[in-house]
Amino acid sequence: MSDGRRERRKAARPGEIAAAGLALFTEKGFAATRMQDVAARAGIAKGTLYLYFPTKEELFFAVVREALLPRIAAVEAWVAAQRGPAPEVLRGLLAQAGAMGRGGVAAIPRLVLSEAGRNKAIARFYAEEVVARGMRVVATILARGVARGEFRAIDPMAMAPVVFAPVLLAMQWRDTIGRHAKGPLDPAAMLAAHTENLLRGLTP
């Protein structure tokens, strides 16, 4: 293998390891996933894995950064670029968030919730790097709408979790009960109903 190809292969390795980690965390959960299993799934030696990620927590952080943070950054940029009415921006944000909650990414909130009660590092990391940023994006739209008179006077940061909670529920449903059984909850229909109800409630 040439030096150029070797360097490109080395640069791609953290992403490949993170993808293997996400697959195994989704299948087995955080606690039951062993580092040697991740190494085997990624096609590398266990020692090589530890060169990139010394602990399982560091690997989990990498999984979240690889799978979620670029999406959050894209949403932040999209919201910052919008100049239209705040209600339509909020509608678009909820549609994007609902679409984001499909596939392997939907497993991440479940993994965090199941582990955060006993793992302080994961709880703090997710709260700071994911939840706080998501709430700020929502609050930005709400504050914009209040300033323009498009929304009634509210506390944007207090309302932000109310806006996003049904999205989290939809993601949890798809990744748990919805994978195995039909039930009374249709995530797409629920998010559509939530959006309309929310916008009516925010109207001055």
Fold classified for 3-56:
Arc Repressor Mutant, subunit A (1.10.10)
- Proportion of the chain above pLDDT 90, given as a percent: 66
Q: Which CATH superfamily is domain 68-202 in?
A: Tetracycline Repressor, domain 2 (1.10.357.10)
Q: Are 173 and 167 in contact (CB under 8 A)?
A: no
What region does 181 belong to: left with phi over 0, alpha with psi -120 to 50, or beta? beta
pLDDT of residue 5: 54
Cα(65)–Cα(67) distance, integer angstroms:
6
Q: Where are the domains of the chain?
A: 3-56, 68-202
- Angle at which helix 132-148 crosses helix 86-100, to 10 degrees, equals 160
- Proportion of the chain above pLDDT 70, given as a percent: 92
- For 172-199, letters b (16+ CB in 10 Å) and e give bbbbeebeeeeeeeebeebbeebbeebb
Cα(183)–Cα(134) distance, integer angstroms:
29
Cα(53)–Cα(14) distance, integer angstroms:
9
What is the per-residue pLDDT across 140-167, written as a single tens digit (0 to 9) for each?
A: 999 999 999 999 999 999 999 999 999 8
